[in-house]
Amino acid sequence: MKLFIIRLFSWWHGATLNTLFHTWRKGERVGEDEQGNVYYQGGTDSEGRTRRWVIYNGEAEGSRVPPGWHGWLHHRVDAAPVQEAYRPRDWQKPHVPNLTGSPMAYRPKGSILGQDKRPVVTGDYEAWSPGD
């Protein structure tokens, strides 16, 4: 029951019920990437093109779509990466998750959330005073 409620009202835990129903009715599975995200096509969009979408394996984060699949999803290429001998370019890096808000997030020196102690003010800063 809990999974049903989560699927009904949230999109960040995977596909919503509406997306799953649309996929069941009109979706044709095209392929899967190395992270387990599954790509579909079917029906037409408002511009008359074939509609394409992804159902994420886990949290829905757009940066988890590899470059080859991104091009296919956005109609930059006609053939999906599984339909051709696609190889990422040297400058295309593997996915790195967004760690913002997590314990692994970057904390600059002096951050109140960091491990380091904030450096002592050296006198190069002069506070503004309303009477000045």
The pLDDT profile of the chain, 132 residues, written as one tens digit per residue, is: 666 666 566 655 667 777 888 888 888 999 999 889 999 999 888 889 999 999 988 888 888 898 889 999 999 999 999 888 888 888 888 778 888 888 888 888 777 777 766 667 677 777 788 876
Helix (H, G, I), strand (E, B) or coil at 19: helix
Q: What is the pLDDT of residue 97?
A: 80
Helix (H, G, I), strand (E, B) or coil at 53: strand
Taking the C-alpha atoms of residue 15 and residue 60, their distance in angstroms, rounded to an integer, is 8
Closest by alpha carbon to 66, among 85, 52, 87? Answer: 87
Taking the C-alpha atoms of residue 78 and residue 131, their distance in angstroms, rounded to an integer, is 66
Provide CB contacts within 8 A for 10, sequence distance 6+: 16
Taking the C-alpha atoms of residue 129 and residue 33, their distance in angstroms, rounded to an integer, is 57
Q: What is the pLDDT of residue 14?
A: 65
Q: What is the pLDDT of residue 80?
A: 92
